[in-house]
A and B are shown apart, each in its own frame.
Chain A
Amino acid sequence: MYTYFRNILFVVVALMLTTTSCDEGFGELNTDPNAANEINPNFQFTWIQLRTSGERYENWRASLIYSSMMVQHMSALCGYWAGDKYTYNAGYSSSLFDRQYTQAVVEIQDLINTLESTEDGDQTMLGMARIWRVLIFHRLTDLYGDVPYSQAGKGFIEGVDFPEFDAQEDIYRDMLNELEEAVAQIGDSGGFGSSDLLYGGDQGAWRRFGNSLMLRLGMRLSEVDAATAQEYVNKAIQGGTLQAGENAFIEHTVGPEGINRNGIGEVLDKSQGFGDDCPRLSATLVNWMQSTDDPRLDVIGTLPVNGSEHNGLPNGLDAELINDNPTGTSLDDFSSVNQAIVSVASPMMFMTVAETELLKAEAALRGWGASDAASHYEAGVRAAMNMWADYGQPIASEDIDAYIANNPFDNTMESIGEQYWAATFLNEYEAFANWRRTGYPELTPVNYPGNVTGGTIPVRLALPQGELGTNPNMRAALDRQGLGTDFASHLTVPVWWDVN
């Protein structure tokens, strides 16, 4: 009996003794053979630029369904085009927020972290990356007010799982400072070279892009903090803004995957399968262009199926209300967006010379670091027309000359605002932001049954409701901005810089 016990004991002890080798080769086994643990910053920067351009998801919802409708670039009968009717759809409203943090913010923070922690890292790359970061964030805060900023995208690098929401004021001050530093950081060598889809790595163009962004963001504060606005508008203009031919856009391709395609094109391009047929050009935009014989109308619009004249669809109608509409009762009576500018391979425009020139015209009008408002206005209008060449739809220079001759600058903010509005067609986030700041063009709101704004155009989009359940920092951000738990009501509450 003792022998059996001894033998069994021996086996057990022997088994235990072998335990040191029980994880032999495990390290190697747990190394992913199909992934890298370092990335070339060039590869990542291209990736980030494409992801900022975005997917069909948020381009459809936040950009087209909400922004393009609210600023009356476009209009739609379909009920789910909520921005046309000021109804509230939680998922549509929060779509840019829902996607950009995990798509773009996390990657740009990672890239900046890599560049900063690399000894003798490429300062030009870092400057460019910081400018791009500002681009990503200003679109978020403009649309949603207070958002996670200083702690955002740092789940891995700093272990922040639930970032705090920064006040928009703080975000803006930091972004302006970032731009100033970043522009100074860009040297005459280095950068992302041909991996930069914007300028092929051109350092000078990047400095001007940074300054132009500073001009845009500085001017954004014109109503809430004129002193700061003036300070940065001055700096930006002195630093030098975009020159002709330097529109900031990304080229897209037909495929092979979603990331390669233009997200707006993925919504509207009918040649590639799906094409949402709901939107038409808004009557507001078409009428405005027709009143000045604007040559851009034939570029952005396709004539109605029924008719030889452009005809804009009034905002705020549905399939039933259209029956009583005097300008047409069928979708076929209205101009649609020209398929040539909303292809999956169309460029995605982030900022244009037209915008910077118009902002300079405004600065001159305000007496902020620029003079000769009229010439900037004219340059802005000309650039806005020439912009369509980037889409392969050039406008003849004689048509542009004629337009400018027939529509001279009248020294009003209103004209600048209207031209800015026309120049930002398809850059709907910017169109919506500048309209809120300036109040131009003067848009007539609709009052569709069931709207949540009491018949006023929304002045922000609501954050994702679900974040309230998980992120303990959101409640404070809502309280700070006077927002309650009825998210539909948020649409009428202006963001910080949106005063008057």
Chain B
Amino acid sequence: MSKNALLTLCLTAFLGLSAWAQQTVSGVVTSSSGEPLIGVNILEKGTTNGVLSDIDGSYTIEVAEGATLTFSYTGYETREMEVGNQATIDITLEEGVALDEVVVTALGIEKSKKALTYSVTELEPEGFSEAREVNVANSLAGKVAGVNVASTATGAGGSSRVIIRGNNSLSGTNQPLYVVDGIPIDNTNLGSAGMWGGSDAGDGISSINPNDIENISVLKGASAAALYGYRSANGVILITTKSGSKSGLNVEFNTQLRAESLNNTYDFQRQYGHGLNGTAPTTVAEALEQQLYAWGEPLNGAGVVQFDGETRPYSDQGDNIDRFYETGLTYINTLTLSGGNERLNFRFSGSNLDNSDIIPNSGLTRRNFTLRTNARISPKFTGTMSAMYVYENANNRPRLSDSPGNANYTAWSLPATVNVEDLRGNSGKLGANEDGTELQFNDNVFVTNPYWAAHQFDNDTNKDRIIGKVQLQYDFLPGLYARTRISLDRFTFRSRNLTPYGTAYSPFGQLSESNREVQELNTELLFGFDRDLTDDINISILAGGNQQRNFSETIGGSGNNFNVPFLHSIGNLANQSVNYGFGEWQVNSLYGSAEIGFMRAIYLSGSYRNDWFSTLTSPDGSGENNQGYYSAGASVVLSELVSLPSAIEFLKLRGSYATGSGPGVAANPYQLNLNYGIFGQGHLGNPLGGIANNSIPNSNLQPLLTKELELGFDVRLLQGRLGLDFTYYDRTTEGDIISAAVSPTSGFGSKIVNLGEMTNKGVELLLTATPIRKQDFSWDVTFNFANNQNEVVSLLTPEADGEALRDGESRTRNAYIEHVEGLPYSQIAGFTYARDANGEIMLDANGLPMQGEYTRFGTGVAPTTMGFGSTFRYKNLSLNFLIDMRMGGVIYSATNAFAYTRGLHQNTLVGRENGIGDVEAGNIEDYYQRIAGNITEEFVYDSDFGKLRQVVLNYTLPNRLMENLPVSGVTVGIAARNLAILWSDVPNIDPESTYNVGNGQGLEMFGVPSTRSIQFNLNVKF
């Protein structure tokens, strides 16, 4: 490539530059704790002559007579030494004060926090490894202002939805880019449930072992992420993994045991048993019809026939949920070896996670092996190589939402008089008849026996993943370097989805086997220049380019009807089809940034990036296929410039403006033209072919553009014991590329368009306080608050008002998710009760409530999030808790609608004895079923909640206890997650329930119940 050749040329040109001097000085740079510091900038003041310290902290530099050396190192205070006639200068650098803390920013560049012109939040490792979730993204919940985390009701291996500063795109992904040690990783949700059921197949971030994480940096806005160009709009989460130690060999062992139990939110009526029309079944046929409905008689203890012909007492059979679900157990063991010598250091960790979920016969195994090495090849030449291998095996991912194969659906929804264990059957095969087929306990074949669903269905996924990079850096001079990096994220995703032979709704069974390969390869070349021009002026410049190449390929076989019963092999299928999918795309980018600081108090920064997309290039090479993005910002540390009241230790004002774009642009190849697919199987010897696009193609697509203004201040008072970080942002998304739902009568379900405009305006606030700071005792408090006001400004046509786009539908088929002009994103829509002028519910001729107007009830995405945390430390003991709160959203609960249909809901007790109006008691189910089927309003609830998200107790054994032991440090801890729902107005379900991580948020239906967990943690350093 000509670009690479050119850059090589430039690199050679720089190599020719060198400095000269007359006097040799050498020495060692160490930290105050005596450790050698590697890579300290040692500069002959007033010149461009400089070197870096090596792995021992030692350096040698030739300087002119009378020179002064400047020693600077990020995170440490800069020192100057006059050389005089000394040949050796050993020097100790003190760690910088907190105000000079360094944060990881875009492209992995470390910067002084006070120089930032935008908001970046860093998270400490304890939060991730000690009170951990299996999916590290879920651990972010409640911790960062403006970061909204939703985990699916899918059990341990499920996906998470992380949204920073609200949603940007209506149908493209709104999740941030995850970058691990500079490697952008794939976070595609590999499968999700929808209105017709299905299961979640996990996401990409779940591969990361929380124990490997050194630090997480959240780049929230477009300015912070500007250098990521089209991947910037949703924010970027930078994960830095731990690296090797500087000397010797260190061994660390960490073991965790986590127990998880179901958080039973259900409160169904237990006064009336199974039956219909106010009577209990009297025959087996009636029992089969009525087993699912709690419209029977008041419990009376009499013997009533059930589905299997057995007569059982018509009385409260107790807690089915407790019987069916199990205690989830997770073991995580991690062994870490780290060490190094002069030229090389490494860190290796191996981790094993074994989980058995609360759903029987379901669980997750994850093994992580991570090796990271840093090498100093020569004083100016350093290299990093890292490789992470992850194996993830999810056993029997649970089905959600609709009933077929969904154990949760049935386990939750049995009437009080039915004991779920009676559905196990007596054949020895769970949920089966003697002949091995499903034991049906009701006449609707699509409501699957929960034991059959949990134990005989198979829904396994295996992921083999390699994430790795090679990075080389050459330091021409102190502060001037070239860096090249090749990074790869590749995985194979193998899935098997079995509907076993003998399943009631598919008696001969179905099987699908599929293998998916996904790869992203990035090649980057970067030049950086960072130095103090004078005492008062610092500049930092970056320029580089990146080539991103992705492909995915799916090969699978599927079919139905096993010839030989119970031989669940693809070759045994009577009807077989082959599935194949392929996509390939590329993005080329060039970028640069510059920052200049004056008097360590005033900073100006700017950046530019241009991206070229293959997906926006027509096959003939035409098309608006590239987009430029820029950012500009300024920050002023007022406390360094003017004299402020003594209570104000630090005060910084910042402001920035940036344009950016969302990832939806790049990842969908072949959508510019109408394509036809050929269906190879044909029909009676005739080939078949038809339109392959599900969406109306659009050859005029252009990249979307976000524009964001960010203003903020950071103030610290009273010797840093009180701090307030405040941010205001105002972001507009224009030309969102989305697959917009159009009327199916257009022939297509959706259309690929550049769509109008959406705005997100909000504030983020982080308050930190240390009310008590004593030798042995301290108390810290943090509070974060974020409010995001989203508005869909315009959709398809700018002129029209009140346009709406459909984005989801509930299985009840009378609740929808829509994006509506003038309203916030993700509106829950449906029908109200018809009401007369007095507001009374109108009834039809049969006395049943009538369906009223089509209405939008509110947004499914809560605009306000808050987190309140506190940490107490006493000597070696620390106690931390976190309360997570959300406000302002609504949820449509299909679970509650079904509870009406089935007569399970407490509200359905009204009228059972005396009827309601014209509806007689014997037909009272008609009344409630009408509401369940037609009146959306009844099941829309405010989804506000407060949850006690975590409590962590840690104890580090005092060193004196270990003097005679071969260990150097022992920490024990207990952490509890999701302990309690403190408040919620949603009956029967967890207000956070959702069955997928797509954009249509606010619908739920029969997910895996939420859990609370407690975990024991032991960490031993040798």
Contacts and interface: CB of A to CB of B under 8 A. Distances in A.
A77 B283 CA distance: 15
Interface in A3-42: 3-4, 7-8, 10-12, 14-16, 18-19, 21-23, 25-40, 42
Interface string B834-857: 100000000011101011111000
A411 to B, nearest CB: 40
Interface string A320-338: 1011000000110000000
Given A11-B7, A12-B543, A18-B2, A163 B746 contact: yes
B572 interface: no
A274 B575 contact: no
B111 to A, nearest CB: 19
Contact of A37 (B617, B674, B686, B929): B674
B683 A30 contact: no
Interface stretch (B27-35, B371-379, B687-695, B980-988): B687-695
Contacts of A35: 670, 675-677, 692
Given A26-B586, A27-B620, A44 B689 contact: yes
Interface residues of B, number: 130
Interface string A158-175: 011111000000000000
Contact of A46 (B687, B692, B851): B687
Contact of A469 (B613, B616, B673, B818): B818
Nearest to B800: A472
Given A37-B673, A486-B844, A106 B748 contact: yes
Contacts of A442: none
A365 to B, nearest CB: 38
Contact of B676 (A11, A36, A318): A36
Interface string B668-688: 011011111111010111111
Contact of B580 (A34, A154, A330, A471): A34
Most buried by B among A21, A152, A155: A155
B926 A30 contact: no
A1 B543 contact: no
Given A98-B744, A257-B575, A8 B289 contact: no
Contacts of A256: 559, 575-577, 681
B696 interface: yes
Interface string B812-830: 0110101000000000010
A90 interface: yes
Contact of B844 (A23, A37, A259, A489): A489
B268 interface: no
A32 B679 contact: no
A19 B590 CA distance: 8
Contact of B751 (A10, A39, A155): A155
Interface residues of A, number: 110
Given A14-B6, A471-B745, A486-B834, A34 B582 contact: yes
A242 to B, nearest CB: 22
Contacts of A264: none
Interface stretch (B241-249, B353-361, B503-511): B503-511
A313 interface: no
Most buried by B among A21, A25, A46, A489: A46
B444 interface: yes
B537 to A, nearest CB: 11
A320 B688 contact: no
A89 B844 CA distance: 17
A408 interface: no
Interface string A425-452: 0000000000000000000000001111
Contacts of A330: 285
Given A46-B683, A259-B683, A273 B677 contact: no
Contacts of A162: 742-743, 746
Can you list the 7 inter-chain pairs with the closest CB atoms, starting with the nearest?
A106-B747, A155-B746, A43-B689, A450-B926, A27-B621, A35-B675, A255-B575
Interface of B: 1-3, 6-7, 10, 13-14, 17, 48, 276-277, 279, 282-283, 285-286, 288-290, 443-445, 480, 505-509, 527, 529, 533, 541, 543, 545, 559-561, 574-577, 580, 582, 584-586, 588, 590, 592, 610, 612-622, 625-626, 669-670, 672-679, 681, 683-693, 696-697, 740-749, 751, 796, 800, 802-806, 809, 813-814, 816, 818, 829, 831, 834, 844-846, 848, 850-854, 923, 925-926, 929-930, 933-934
Interface of A: 1, 3-4, 7-8, 10-12, 14-16, 18-19, 21-23, 25-40, 42-44, 46-48, 50-51, 77-80, 88-91, 97-98, 101-102, 105-107, 109-110, 147-148, 152-156, 159-163, 194-195, 197, 251, 253-257, 259-260, 272-276, 318-320, 322-323, 330-331, 449-452, 454, 465-472, 485-489
9 contacts: A15-B545, A18-B2, A25-B614, A79-B289, A110-B691, A155-B746, A466-B816, A469-B854, A470-B743
